Amino acid sequence: MATDPYKVPGIEDTSIDHIVKAEAYDGKVRAMAVSTTAMCAEAQKIHNTSTAVTCALGRFMTGSLLISSDMKNETDTQTTIIKSDGPIGGMTCVCDFGYKVRAFPVNSVIDTEYHHPGKVNVGAAVGQGMLTVIRDIGLKEPYVGSVELISGEIAEDFAYYLAKSEQTKSVVALGVLCENGEVKHAGGLMVQLLPSADDKTIDILEQRAAGFPDITFLMSEGFTPAKIIDLFLGDPEVRYLSGSPVSFSCPCSKEKMSRGLITLGKEELTQLTDDPDGISTECQFCGSKYHFTKEDIEDLIKSI
Ligand SMILES: [Zn+2]
């Protein structure tokens, strides 16, 4: 039996959301591609987002995931934030080790504008603003980088961030295709030139980037992340280094919520005990609800 040229170590089932890492051109270029259809559908369901927000949030989660893929320790985490003046207002995304992603938009329901039929104008939804990336990899201080948004279309905003804040020349492509309000396909590609890349390699990749089809079109044609990388790079020597499933996942719990409540301080917590029914809190990332009785809150006050 012939071996599968698109076989990626760590990936058995290519139908589930997954990320693939590869290198090519004698190690001068690295590439990552990811399928995030189920992840984006989950975010759509949790936040009950309208089409423009589903597309913007999906692209934002997918791009955040791609730039977070160098995490090495289980406690590493990355928070990306867009604050902007468009109707969406902004978005926050957290990527934890193991490709676990969670996110929420400031506004879930807005009108959808289109570039042309079928192509959502994400830039109009996002508007102008800032993209901030906070990486906590266990050092004394987290690394924080911030850039102005170029277009609000998300992919070029991440590429600009990588060029400006991390001095890495990158091509970033992101796509979320919605049909009747539901996520049909979602995914992304990031190709980075390492400092050793020569002008010839740079030229080849710039040419390939110029006419490259939409990621969601390729996915609808059956392209897996490994095949998307192959099509973009066009290098017969491409090496698939590793793959891993990715998912929408929130680690919230009642205990973590109570730590948040404690930060309100004694005075404010004491006011909360006025209500004999206690209080209900909701996780803004995943919508899980946690109830604290009057007694729970009194215990928290005692613990301060
Ligand atoms: Zn949660």
Average pLDDT of the residues in 35-47: 98
Query: Whose CA is closest to 155, among 249, 228, 58, 84?
Result: 58
Q: What mean pLDDT is reported for the chain?
A: 94
Distance 289 CA to ligand 1 centre (A): 8
Confidence of residue 2 (pLDDT cuts 50, 70, 90): low
Domain boundaries, the chain: 18-248, 254-303
250 alpha carbon – ligand 1 mean position (Å): 5
Class of domain 254-303: alpha beta
Tokens of 5: 């040229």
Q: Going by CATH, does the domain composed of 18-248 fall within 3.30.365.10?
A: no
For 282-300, write each residue's pLDDT tens digit. 999 999 999 999 999 999 9
- Contact assessment for residue 107 and residue 87, using Cβ atoms and an 8 Å cutoff: yes
Is 18-248's fold the same as 254-303's?
no
Confidence grade of residue 117 (pLDDT, cut at 50, 70, 90): confident
Q: What is the CA(241)–ligand 1 centre distance, in A?
A: 32
- CA-nearest of 184, 121, 177, 181 to 154 is 121
* Strand ranges across the sheet with 129-136: 143-148, 129-136, 77-84, 90-96, 100-105, 247-248
Average pLDDT rounded to a whole number, residues 184-205: 92
Does residue 1 carry a pLDDT above 70?
no
pLDDT digits (tens, 9 = 90+) for 221-233: 999 999 999 999 9
pLDDT, tens digit (0-9, with 9 covering 90-100), for 60-110: 999 999 999 889 999 999 999 999 999 999 999 999 999 999 999 999 999
Predicted confidence (pLDDT) per residue in 249-264, tens digit:
999 999 999 998 999 9
Residues 200 and 275: their CA atoms lie apart, in Å, by 69
Judge whether 44 and 111 are in contact, CB under 8 Å. no
Q: What is the pLDDT of residue 225?
A: 98
